[in-house]
A = this chain, B = another copy of it.
Amino acid sequence: MKIFDISMSIHPGMTVYKNKEEKRPILTITRDFVQGAGARETRITMDLHTGTHMDAPLHMIAGGRDSEIFTPDNTVARARVLDFTGVKDSIGPEDLKEKDICRGYFVLLKTQNSYEDFFNPDFVYLSQGGAEYLADRGVKGVGIDALGIERNQPGHETHKILLKKGILILEGLRLKDIPEGDYLLFAAPLKIAGVEAAPIRALLVQTEE
């Protein structure tokens, strides 16, 4: 059993969406050895959309399902990594048609984003048409290696098409070292109650089958 870590590292200098300062995580040491405490303790303040995280319907749909949707059944799943590193702008139906998309799978979109360690405002995203294509195929979830699954779509169509069908969105993946293929995805988010998203330590397990 080989395990790949596909998560971003969380720290104050990390890449955050649109480089917004207010989105940076803040770490505060509340007890420390130099104070004679005999222990170190730290407190973190972070957006729930920091680094590798999952969106629930409530992120984009008023009254939608919140983080209670993040059960193990919904977030541990067969996953297929699809290589779209040749795509320049957005992934659409014409790109997806070249791949085998399976019902019930998490589809993880590997793009040039995985090779960039800064916020690129022109990051590769999933187009509205691409989201419709994947929703029609009955996928369980869609992951991408950008902090957002779409950009410059004021109506947030990509998010809404997926979330309205209960298809979970996994953002902020790091897929540079992951070959196209099938894996078992462990992407159960932190169990924060009543929220619209939560951060994750996401892992891919390569089994022998």
Q: Chain A interface (Cβ within 8 Å of chain B)?
A: 3-5, 7-11, 25, 27, 30, 33, 38-49, 51-52, 58-60, 62, 71-73, 76, 155-156, 186, 188-197, 199-201, 203
Seed contacts A3-B76, A39-B59, A43-B48; 13 additional CB < 8 Å A-B pairs: A3-B73, A9-B193, A10-B190, A10-B192, A11-B192, A11-B193, A33-B62, A41-B59, A44-B195, A52-B191, A72-B203, A186-B188, A190-B201
Neighbour of A39 across the interface among B52, B156, B188, B191, CB < 8 A: B156
CB contact under 8 A between A197 and B42, given known A72-B3, A192-B11:
yes
A200 to chain B, nearest CB (A): 7
Which chain B residues lie closer than 8 Å to A5 at the CB level?
71-72, 188, 191
Q: Are A38 and B60 in contact (CB under 8 A)?
A: yes
- The answer to whether A191 touches B9, judged by C-beta atoms less than 8 angstroms apart, is yes
CB pair A191 B42 closer than 8 Å:
no
Listed A/B pairs (24) with beta-carbon separation below 8 Å: A3-B76, A9-B193, A10-B192, A10-B193, A11-B192, A25-B192, A27-B195, A39-B60, A40-B58, A40-B59, A41-B49, A41-B59, A42-B47, A42-B48, A43-B46, A43-B47, A44-B46, A44-B48, A51-B191, A72-B203, A186-B203, A190-B199, A190-B200, A200-B201
